[in-house]
Chain A
Amino acid sequence: GAGVSQSPRYKVAKRGQDVALRCDPISGHVSLFWYQQALGQGPEFLTYFQNEAQLDKSGLPSDRFFAERPEGSVSTLKIQRTQQEDSAVYLCASSFELAGGMETAQETQYFGPGTRLLVL
């Protein structure tokens, strides 16, 4: 079956511009995650949805970052007034279920190809 897809794959934005990044999770996956990966680093957690509910947004770096998943499927990560430090790869992942917040292993997350954002 189809994996997680993300669009656009590449985005160049001028500083101050707003951008919207889209994620299509695997069909039937309840949980959806956004991560930010800076060059040479591992991915860092941004936010988590269970269906349409955003249960954790503790990783969002500022109030310029906003994510939504209105129908519990496709998700959009929006960055307002982009800054150069926002340049990174934005990864989306989905999983069938989640045992979140517990001292136990989570359901495996499957990642999309990422959107590479460059802010000039």
Chain B
Amino acid sequence: SQELEQSPQSLIVQEGKNLTINCTSSKTLYGLYWYKQKYGEGLIFLMMLQKGGEEKSHEKITAKLDEKKQQSSLHITASQPSHAGIYLCGATPGGGADGLTFGKGTHLIIQP
């Protein structure tokens, strides 16, 4: 089965600084999804990547999928308190499986 490794597990950054979160798979990623979760809430969809080398941006968040489609990164520029939360990467498991497989998440704290 596919496993997704996220790094770092937690991250504390000063407001205004840039940061990067990584998601690595042992298998080819056919669809890679980034979600954000605040404590006690559901997952908020951020972006979906499909093609090798694909890059998408929304406001100050940029997500990339490498050419081999085994690693994705999420980059936040000029972080703000509103960016705090848990970032989860999810992927289509393939092989006939339904649903998404998720990493354990990266807990982001923004220090004022």
Which residues from chain A sit less than 8 Å from chain B, CB to CB? 4, 6, 33, 35, 40-46, 48, 55-56, 58-59, 91, 93, 98, 100-106, 108-114, 116
Contact = CB atoms under 8 A, between A and B. Distances in A.
Contacts of A48: 98-99
Interface string B66-100: 00000000000000000000001010101011111
A35 B105 contact: no
B102 A44 contact: yes
A59 B48 contact: no
B43 interface: yes
The 6 lowest CB-CB distance pairs between A and B, nearest first, are A105-B31, A42-B102, A45-B99, A111-B43, A111-B42, A48-B98
Given A103-B94, A108-B33, A113 B42 contact: yes
Contacts of B90: 42-43
Name A's interface SS.
Answer: loop
A77 B64 CA distance: 35
A42 B103 contact: yes
Contacts of B31: 104-106
B99 A105 contact: no
Given A42-B88, A103-B94, A114 B41 contact: yes
10 contacts: A33-B98, A33-B100, A40-B104, A45-B97, A59-B99, A105-B31, A106-B92, A109-B33, A111-B35, A113-B42
Contacts of B98: 33, 45, 48, 55-56, 98, 100-101
Interface string B22-66: 000000001101010000111111001010000000000000000
B50 A109 contact: no
B48 A105 contact: yes
A45 to B, nearest CB: 3
B104 A101 contact: no
Contacts of A105: 30-31, 48, 50, 92
B30 A91 contact: no
